Amino acid sequence: MARDIYSLRNIGIIAHIDAGKTTVTERMLYVSGAKHRAGGVDQGTTETDDDPEEQERGITIYSACVTFRWKNSIINLLDTPGHVDFTAEVERCLRVLDGAVVVFSGREGVEAQSETVWRQADKYEVPRIVFINKLDREGADFYRVLDEIGPRLNAQPIALQIPVGMGPAHLADPFRGVIDLVEQRLYRFSSEDDGKQLLEEVVPDELQEDMRNWRELMLESLYSISNELLELALEEQPIPIELIRKAIREGCINRVIQPVLCGSALHGMGVQPLLDAVSHYLPSPMDRPPVHGIDPKKPERELTRHPTGDDPFCALVFKILPAKTGDLYWIRVYSGVLNSNSRVYVPNRDTKENIAQLWQIHATKKERQGQVQSLECGDIACAIGPRTAITGDTFCDTREMIQLPSIQFAQAVLSMAIEPENATERKKLAEVLEMLKRQDPTFHAVENQESGQTLISGMGELHLDVIKHRLTRDFNLNVKFYKPRVNYRETIGQKVKVEGQCNRQIGATQMFARVQLLMEPLEDRAAPPIVLDRFFGEGALPDELKAAVLEELRGRAQGGGLIGSFPLTGLRVSLIGGEMREVGSDVVAFRIAANDGFDEALKSGEPVLLEPVMRLDIVTPDDYMGEIVGDLQQRRAIIESTEARGIMTGIIAFAPLKELFGYSSAIRSLSQGRAACSMEPHGYQPAPEQDAEGFAF
């Protein structure tokens, strides 16, 4: 697997659903020669969407990795989902990537999930380039989408290309090519071989003025990056293309600009220049900062690993695919070398694991490109052999240990009860659910021993629907499914100061303990509970007793509340006082007092039931605005804004998840199939009183 690390590009394709990510990936494989024929999403013949659920629904559900060469570069490309229910796939990929291509539809522009993935890329400081796709569609407008990117995403887009025409072939001025502002050339794409052949021409006279104006805008944006470029411009000297590319690359890697290209991936238009841009402007592993972690034996000590073979080995597990022959651990190597038939240390589990085999990844678990003997820094590949590691864990050298930051995933918002038909199915179901939990960190399953039902939780209706199909079709399980339910939370409505005590006669011993607690609601209702020790100075309890009280409080804070035993969130509990006696004041007594005080605080703090709220981004023709807004109001939605988006109108609203079951079907009915909606978790708000009354207090 020897290669020049400077030629390596670890990139991801990210976008809103149906912007064309998988088609872009497929065309990249085709024009690079990695495939002899381009597949189609609608036909279910793409390389990366090889799961039956993906092929049936025509969407990407699972991230997939492909490796191919483009000229002098080796590209590891991760194709990611666009639907919000599968945002964890985007999260885990961005955590390990060096760069990204963000795809926007030339017709729909910046959409809800576009903003989500852009924020995720900001979170991991991933440099990115932009591809405005589908310029051959009715209503496509490159310049409108370009204008949206800056204000809506807090970005600095710089056009490196402009389109020649826009829209389908039957229009008077259809999309038929792109003008490259760096090269000052016109690129057309042969329709005879699906755009594989790039036709380079001189820019016609009638387009020269447009090209000069846009090129000047591009150069003006680069003057603040390159003094050398500015000096040549002031002296009115010719500016070499390589100097322009150097400035664009520097600005892109430092995330002060985002180069923008355009085309139509479905018809193979603009894909070769996009691949050139990936090679020219996105970083290699050597261009990224070193990774930081901690010494697992001394957590206060920070460690650093550089992307070289000389530094000790470390890698991050970012995805696990269960398999009968051994789970496939997708890893990103950040430093050093990993050999097959070796051992690694997993600091998160405090254990050592065997690495039996190493494979290059191609698509998903159903196909592997080839076995290799070692991996170098920068590689993204698959390891077989580990047994206990999970997504987000670190693999490192057994002597030079480091623990990298893990991956944080969103909490599940929707649950559904399932019940096996018999004892045999119960055992099989438990095994399958454990496997699915290893594969998907946002999927949870808990069995209720009393009812015999299992509660499965996920990120939305589509997520749970895919899980249902997998259980019945892929694993042939005979189980019953029950109506999805909302994952409520509980908190308190006001600050309270309470006293908890233990005053019991046990045999000849009088047990005694008294604690004072302060319980306060947090501004962020979705934040996990916080337990603090604020009992200092004179009269403070011995460390052993104080530790017992705090441990008991933390355990209670992680449990359920009073309304319906839902998880507690958005509150802070502080130990502020206590009293003990020389006899009878032991650890058990103070644990009882802590429990008593916690119960009293919940009762006195005016318990509040919290319901999850979703952020909706709706795009609709004006003709259906009235019906959609009226329907939203009936669903207790708050409309934040409406805005024109080309020929469509966008609506941003917030609505309780409980009111949104089946909304995707409802909005299609209201708009004759012409409106679209995406939603993502936004937070929690107090639920109506009648909802709280429905649960046992």
Residue 31 lies in a domain: yes
**Do residue 175 and residue 271 come from a single domain?**
yes
Instruction: Examine the pLDDT at 54 and tell me if it is beyond 80.
Output: no
State the average pLDDT over residues 301-330. Answer: 90
Q: What is the pLDDT of residue 164?
A: 96
Instruction: Examine the pLDDT at 697 and tell me if it is beyond 50.
Output: no
**Do residue 189 and residue 254 come from a single domain?**
yes
CATH of the domain at 544: 3.30.230.10
Cα 488 to Cα 219, 568, 603, 658, distances in angstroms: 53, 9, 18, 10
Contact 140, 263 (CB under 8 A): no
Residue 230 lies in a domain: yes
pLDDT above 90 covers a percentage of the chain that reads 55
Instruction: Examine the pLDDT at 365 and tell me if it is beyond 90.
Output: no
Point out the least confidently predicted range of 149-163, 201-215, 284-298, 403-417. 403-417
pLDDT above 70 covers a percentage of the chain that reads 95
The residue segments making up the domain with residue 444 are: 414-487
For the stretch 515-549, pLDDT in tens is: 999 999 999 888 899 999 998 877 789 989 999 99
Q: What is the pLDDT of residue 43?
A: 66
pTM score: 0.74
Point out the least confidently predicted range of 335-349, 466-480, 592-606, 681-695. 681-695
pLDDT grade for 46, boundaries at 50, 70 and 90: confident
Which of the listed residues 487, 509, 525 is the one where a domain comes to its end? 487
Point out the least confidently predicted range of 6-15, 298-307, 556-565. 556-565
Cβ partners under 8 Å of residue 43, min gap 6: none
CATH of the domain at 684: 3.30.70.240
Which of the listed residues 583, 605, 627 is the one where a domain comes to its end? 605
Residue 409 lies in a domain: no
Q: What is the pLDDT of residue 366?
A: 40
For the stretch 175-219, pLDDT in tens is: 999 999 999 999 998 777 777 788 999 999 999 999 999 999 999
**Do residue 102 and residue 219 come from a single domain?**
yes
Residue 403 lies in a domain: no
Helices of type H across 185-225:
205-222
Q: How many residues does the chain have?
A: 697
Question: In terms of DSSP bridges, do strands 530-533 and 571-579 run parallel, antiparallel, or are they unpaired?
Answer: parallel
State the average pLDDT over residues 230-237. Answer: 90
Q: Between 461 and 585, whose confidence is greater? A: 585
Q: What is the pLDDT of residue 1?
A: 43
Residue 202 lies in a domain: yes
Q: What is the pLDDT of residue 50?
A: 63
Residue 267 lies in a domain: yes
For the stretch 488-502, pLDDT in tens is: 899 999 999 999 999
According to the per-residue pLDDT averaged within each range, which of 26-40, 134-148, 537-551, 647-661 is highest? Answer: 134-148
Q: Of the candidates 631, 680, 683, which has an alpha carbon nearest to the alpha carbon of residue 462? A: 680
10 Å Cβ neighbour count for 494?
Answer: 11
**Do residue 590 and residue 632 come from a single domain?**
no
Q: Of the candidates 528, 524, 518, which has an alpha carbon nearest to the alpha carbon of residue 494? A: 518
**Do residue 595 and residue 632 come from a single domain?**
no
Contact 259, 158 (CB under 8 A): yes
Mean pLDDT, the chain, rounded, equals 88
**Do residue 210 and residue 69 come from a single domain?**
yes
At 279, give phi and psi (nearest 5°).
Answer: -70, -40
Residue 404 lies in a domain: no
Instruction: Examine the pLDDT at 288 and tell me if it is beyond 90.
Output: yes
**Do residue 176 and residue 219 come from a single domain?**
yes
Q: What is the pLDDT of residue 435?
A: 85
Burial class (CB in 10 A: 0-12, 13-18, 19+), 197: middle
In sign, the C-alpha dihedral spanning 102, 108, 113, 115 is positive
State the average pLDDT over residues 607-629. Answer: 90
Q: Of the candidates 58, 28, 63, 32, which has an alpha carbon nearest to the alpha carbon of residue 45? A: 58
**Do residue 151 and residue 256 come from a single domain?**
yes
Residue environment code for 561-588, b if the CB has 16+ CB neighbours within 10 A, otherwise e: bbbbebbbbbbbbbbebbebeeebbbee
Which of the listed residues 487, 511, 546 is the one where a domain comes to its end? 487
At 428, give phi and psi (nearest 5°).
Answer: -65, -40
Residue 145 lies in a domain: yes
**Do residue 186 and residue 226 come from a single domain?**
yes
Instruction: Examine the pLDDT at 403 and tell me if it is beyond 80.
Output: yes
Q: Tell me the one-letter amino acid at 62.
A: Y
CATH of the domain at 461: 3.30.70.870
Contact 327, 399 (CB under 8 A): no
Q: What is the pLDDT of residue 437?
A: 87
Q: How many domains does the chain have?
A: 5
**Do residue 24 and residue 55 come from a single domain?**
yes
**Do residue 325 and residue 219 come from a single domain?**
no
**Do residue 177 and residue 164 come from a single domain?**
yes
Measured between alpha carbons, how far is 289 from 304 in angstroms, rounded to an integer? 10
User: Structure tokens of 596?
Assistant: 């008593």
CATH of the domain at 299: 2.40.30.10
Point out the least confidently predicted range of 147-156, 247-256, 354-363. 354-363
